[in-house]
Structure 1
Amino acid sequence: MPFIPHTDQDIADMLAAIGADSVDALFSEIDPRLRNGDISALPERAGEQAITRLMHERAAQDAGDLCFIGAGAYEHHIPAAVWEIATRGEFYSAYTPYQPEASQGTLQVVYEYQTMMCGLTGMDVANASLYDGASALAEAVLMAVRANRKSKSKRVLMPAGVHPFYREVAHNICANQGIVFEAVDFEPATGKIDTKALDAWAGEDITALVIPQPNFFGVLEDVDALTDWAENNGALAIGVVNPVSLALIKPPGEWGDGAGADIVVGEGQPLGAPLAGGGPYFGILCCRRAHVRQMPGRVVGRTRDLDGRSGYVLTLQPREQHIRRSKATSNICTNQGLLVTAATIHMSLLGSHGLETVAATCAATTRDLVARLSALDGVERVFDAPFFHEAALRLPVAARPVLDALADKGILGGLALDRFFAGMDDVFLVCATETKTESDLAAYAEALSDVLDQIAEAA
């Protein structure tokens, strides 16, 4: 949105209209000791031409590198129309649709988004969004504790294959509320949840089982068996999904014997949000109809007025802003409406066929890349299991120096996993999306070959 600065006369007129002597007078009630009057670190003001040049120089610093890092944030092509529409004033400046009679456009966008997410996940209900995928998982855990009335333990099985950041956020938000997370390891050969390890909890009071699909390693889990295990043991099944992958694989609403997962969360960033230095993103949360009263956030519904015209309203508002705090399901005090708008436009432009094409291209491109890299001496896949568009690779040397050397060549080669998993000093996670061409893959393979040769010669 364009910025239109006020002139000195504009400011003087506005101050006169409200009876204030100066701008400082507007902040007179703030203790002077709390105000920072030193702005010496701010540069001198500059003209439009100088600012434009500076911004182009800053932007150029972020351009050029080939990115093969995934791990929860993915570089996808975003049609130009997405943000041209999303940044129109009607959407860009709209905050919260408290007054339905004045917010029909915003409410309809959220309604369309919810409908699309239900179609994508196969679930009954979707909310208006959460902050990001990690906090969405934390909210799903809290929701499961409220919804699973048969369980009194507040014990949640959290697989090691769930994104490490998601696990940390869930723990930080939920642990002080008496919720206990019990770790479930993965099979060393496949990277999947060790289903035999689940036998240790069979018949016990377990509130919920978290099921990532695909998991942090990109591996596809045996979701049917896991969902059935949860149901047979009185636990709710919480799916953690990549929305793009759902254009190809079985939606969580159909997991197991057909009943599906109980709650589904995920990160919405792949649906029209750029990487943008880590955000803003938005969280997805869907559930079965039976659990809707425990869903955080808000739900937009469609109705008809007395004249038979369609209208959109906030059907469910279980936030503490709307109802008594003791009755609220969450203290979330806003939603990521702008990102949801972009995602709705993005999905509308791609359509079901386009989204499936994107997912299929990502999967094929990653397999091509993994094959090229695995053909190099000493490089091999860590896990022997089907994967979507990420894979863990093992190098003949430590991964971090190799990734640093690749970065010097303009290639962001992946994510070193020693930060999260012991014994994986030589393992990194690599991802390729539809944005990568054959020449990009060839450049990566050649650069990795050169780096490994240089390290071998120096040894």
Structure 2
Amino acid sequence: MRYLPLSEADRSEMLAAIGAASIDDLFADLPPQKRLAALPKLPPHASEQAVARRLGALAAKNMPAGSVPFFVGAGAYRHHIPATVDHLIQRSEFLTSYTPYQPEIAQGTLQVLFEFQTQVARLTGMEVANASMYDGSTALAEAVLMAHRITRRDRAVLSGGVHPHYRGVVETVTRFPGHAVESLPPDISGTEDILAAIDESTSCVVVQSPSFYGHLYDLKPIAEKAHAVGALLIAVFTEVVSLGLIEPPGAQGADIVVGEGQSLGNPLSFGGPYVGLFATRQKHVRQMPGRLCGETIDADGKRAFVLTLSTREQHIRREKATSNICTNAGLCSLAFSIHLTLLGGIGLERLARVNHANAVRLADQLAALPGVELLNRAFFNEFALRLPKNAAAVVEALAGRGILAGVPASRLEPNRPELDNVLVIAATEVNTEEDRATLTAALREALA
């Protein structure tokens, strides 16, 4: 039996209240060609065994990242995850735990989140971090909204090195409140003059380092210019392993630091779930979205953990909420925290050095090919090349040979002819010398 509690009169009353003539008006932003003209024709039912066989056949068409030379990055990175991580997160007290609505009862969950916050704060060089966000892109959008609240301005300036997906999420979230977003052109050379875009109307300036194209930026002069006009600097990263070598954004003057923590403890998983990292200065803590776990002493004088601050609309009056995010990536943040604990500070630095060294070796090999230009002066484990041919066509050709060669910039930045030949390549600790040699030889043939 279908459960349809609303009558036609109920629907008409609701539509009238919001000023819509019909239900179709609610989908006005969806292009007509993207809408279904009729209900889809689903296949007839089948047995469980037949369905499993069919789905298995479909899954077999995928090319698993670990089965071929893999150099795809652009915001999601393949790293080795110690077996200990998966073993520990599958313990029942972790795997089945959820948001602690009676938080003080869940001391284990609160301690895990407290330790996670501590790690994120130390990694980013900030004073306080929250108990995770949904992913890096939504963390950035929330950071922009937070900057608007703090500065009482509504114009954000986004560097041309910000990941296109992150920029898209910011533009979507700020669209309906009517906030202004100025996105600079793609910075494929790492030479943009972002200082010229900052003025007294600027709420925040957003800079990603390493950028989508792999460039590293000195954030200090950007922070100085932003602070001089009363704006905030939001620093973004998509590759958290880079913080093992690069000076923390907090030490470079960032006011808010956000990023993606997937690289530690979390597999690619076809795009999710991931774990958003969010840190800021202590003076801005009450404008920070999400949850904040704290440490205290209980009635018996023992160490205890509490949910110190929760600014989501489920916990406080909606008009007082700073965020409507209703999911923190608890299990993913635990995986992040376990992996980082296993590495330790020295281990993270060593991992970062291996990543950088592998990327440098690969960049040197590929830049030596005829017609190939390396677009980076400095990078971590990801860099951009300009090829003498269309990058998307080259990637397709190499994929046909069982090599995942990177991400064509035009895939994420369509309708920009200047990016048609730009290829973004990532190299991590999982890439072997044989992998690099295979990619170099295949690319040489594809460009011949």
Bin of the TM-score, shorter chain as denominator length: 0.7 to 0.9
Shift, 1:102, TM fit: 2.6
Residue of structure 1 aligned with 2:230, choices 216, 220, 234: 234
Summarize the alignment of residues 148-163 of structure 1 with structure 2, pairs less than 5 Å apart: 148-149=151-152, 152=153, 154-163=154-163
Partner of 1:438: 433
Partner of 2:120: 117
Change in Cα spacing, 1:436 to 1:41, as seen in structure 2 (3 Å) is farther
Residue of structure 2 aligned with 1:387, choices 379, 401, 415: 379
> d(CA) in 1 for partners of 2:58 and 2:182?
49
Letter paired with 1:410: G
Secondary structure, counterpart of 2:223 in structure 1: helix
Secondary structure, counterpart of 2:181 in structure 1: strand
Summarize the alignment of residues 253-272 of structure 1 with structure 2, pairs less than 5 Å apart: 253-255=250-252, 260-272=253-265
Change in Cα spacing, 1:416 to 1:53, as seen in structure 2 (3 Å) is closer
Secondary structure, counterpart of 2:257 in structure 1: strand
Is the Cα contact below 8 Å between 2:157 and 2:198 reproduced in 1? no
Letter paired with 2:302: R
Task: Note if 1:215 corresponds to 2:211.
Answer: yes
Secondary structure, counterpart of 1:244 in structure 2: helix
> d(CA) in 2 for partners of 1:72 and 1:106?
28
> d(CA) in 2 for partners of 1:94 and 1:304?
23
Shift, 1:217, TM fit: 0.6
Partner of 2:22: none
Task: Note if 1:107 corresponds to 2:110.
Answer: yes
Shift, 1:436, TM fit: 0.3
> d(CA) in 1 for partners of 2:4 and 2:93?
34
Partner of 2:101: 98
Letter paired with 1:175: R
Partner of 1:312: 305
Letter paired with 1:425: D
Change in Cα spacing, 1:411 to 1:42, as seen in structure 2 (3 Å) is farther
Partner of 1:173: 173
Task: Note if 1:358 corresponds to 2:351.
Answer: yes
Partner of 2:444: 449
Letter paired with 1:434: E
Letter paired with 2:245: L
Task: Note if 1:407 corresponds to 2:377.
Answer: no
> d(CA) in 1 for partners of 2:406 and 2:151?
39
Question: What RMSD, in angstroms, separates the aligned Cα atoms of the two structures?
Answer: 2.4
Change in Cα spacing, 1:175 to 1:30, as seen in structure 2 (3 Å) is closer
Q: What do residues 225-261 of structure 1 show as CA deviations (whole Å, max 9, x unaligned)?
A: 1111111121101010232111101101110xxxx21
> d(CA) in 2 for partners of 1:286 and 1:177?
24
Partner of 2:193: 194
Shift, 1:60, TM fit: 8.3
Residue of structure 2 aligned with 1:275, choices 246, 252, 268: 268
Partner of 1:8: none
Shift, 1:446, TM fit: 0.9
Residue of structure 2 aligned with 1:89, choices 92, 108, 112: 92
Is the Cα contact below 8 Å between 2:138 and 2:169 reproduced in 1? yes
> d(CA) in 2 for partners of 1:162 and 1:53?
40
Partner of 2:319: 326
Secondary structure, counterpart of 2:158 in structure 1: strand
Is the Cα contact below 8 Å between 1:266 and 1:284 reproduced in 2? yes
Secondary structure, counterpart of 1:67 in structure 2: coil
Letter paired with 2:202: I
Is the Cα contact below 8 Å between 1:75 and 1:435 reproduced in 2? yes
Partner of 1:206: 202
Q: What do residues 101-122 of structure 1 show as CA deviations (whole Å, max 9, x unaligned)?
A: 4311111110000000011111
Shift, 1:272, TM fit: 1.1
| Number of aligned residue pairs | 410
Partner of 1:144: 147
> d(CA) in 1 for partners of 2:76 and 2:45?
32
Secondary structure, counterpart of 2:440 in structure 1: helix
Letter paired with 1:277: F
Show structure 1 runs of 5+ residues with no match: 1-26, 454-459
Letter paired with 2:145: L
> d(CA) in 2 for partners of 1:57 and 1:164?
30
Secondary structure, counterpart of 1:360 in structure 2: helix
Partner of 2:424: 429
Q: What do residues 296-318 of structure 1 show as CA deviations (whole Å, max 9, x unaligned)?
A: 00000011111111111100011
Identity %: 48
Q: What do residues 61-85 of structure 1 show as CA deviations (whole Å, max 9, x unaligned)?
A: 4332221110000000000111111
Letter paired with 2:110: L
> d(CA) in 1 for partners of 2:197 and 2:105?
55
Letter paired with 1:440: D
Letter paired with 1:110: L
> d(CA) in 1 for partners of 2:220 and 2:68?
39
Letter paired with 2:101: Y
Partner of 1:371: 364
Change in Cα spacing, 1:42 to 1:127, as seen in structure 2 (3 Å) is farther
> d(CA) in 1 for partners of 2:291 and 2:346?
29
Partner of 2:282: 289
Change in Cα spacing, 1:58 to 1:184, as seen in structure 2 (3 Å) is closer
Is the Cα contact below 8 Å between 1:133 and 1:284 reproduced in 2? yes
Normalising by structure 2, we get a TM-score of: 0.86
> d(CA) in 1 for partners of 2:435 and 2:246?
27
Normalising by structure 1, we get a TM-score of: 0.84
Change in Cα spacing, 1:53 to 1:398, as seen in structure 2 (3 Å) is closer
Shift, 1:267, TM fit: 0.7
> d(CA) in 2 for partners of 1:39 and 1:376?
50
> d(CA) in 1 for partners of 2:42 and 2:105?
41
Shift, 1:192, TM fit: 3.7
